[in-house]
Copies of this chain bind each other. A is one copy, B any other.
Amino acid sequence: MPATDLPRRGIPDATVARLPAYLRVLGIMAEAGVRSTSSLELAQAVGVHPAKVRKDLSHLGSHGVRGVGYDVAHLTVEISRELGLTRDWPVVIVGLGNLGRALAGHAGLSSRGFSVAGLFDADPAVIGQSVSGLTISPMSAIADLPRAADTVGVIATPAAAAQVVADQLVAAGITSILNCAPAAIVVPAPVDVRRVDIASELQILAFHKQRRTAAPALAVAP
Contacts and interface: CB of A to CB of B under 8 A. Distances in A.
A2 to B, nearest CB: 12
Q: How many copies does the complex hold?
A: 2
Given A159-B108, A218-B7, A205 B198 contact: no
Contacts of A206: 83-85, 89, 113-114, 152, 176
The contact size tier of chain A is: 35 or more
A23 B207 CA distance: 13
B199 A83 contact: no
A19 B45 CA distance: 29
A168 to B, nearest CB: 18
B98 A176 contact: no
A20 B176 contact: no
Given A7-B218, A204-B20, A209-B152, A198 B184 contact: no
Interface stretch (A62-70, A99-107, A135-143): A99-107
B203 A85 contact: yes
Given A209-B175, A218-B7, A204 B16 contact: yes
Interface in A127-158: 149-150, 152, 154, 158
Contacts of A203: 19-20, 23, 83, 85, 112-113
Interface stretch (A32-40, A50-58, A117-125, A189-197): A189-197
Given A97-B102, A152-B202, 5 more contacts: A19-B207, A20-B200, A20-B203, A84-B211, A114-B199
Interface of A: 7, 16-17, 19-21, 23-25, 45-47, 82-85, 89, 91, 97-99, 101-103, 105-109, 112-114, 149-150, 152, 154, 158-159, 175-178, 180, 182-184, 192, 194, 196-214, 218
15 contacts: A21-B200, A46-B184, A47-B184, A82-B207, A83-B204, A83-B206, A84-B207, A85-B206, A89-B209, A108-B199, A149-B213, A152-B202, A152-B209, A175-B212, A176-B209
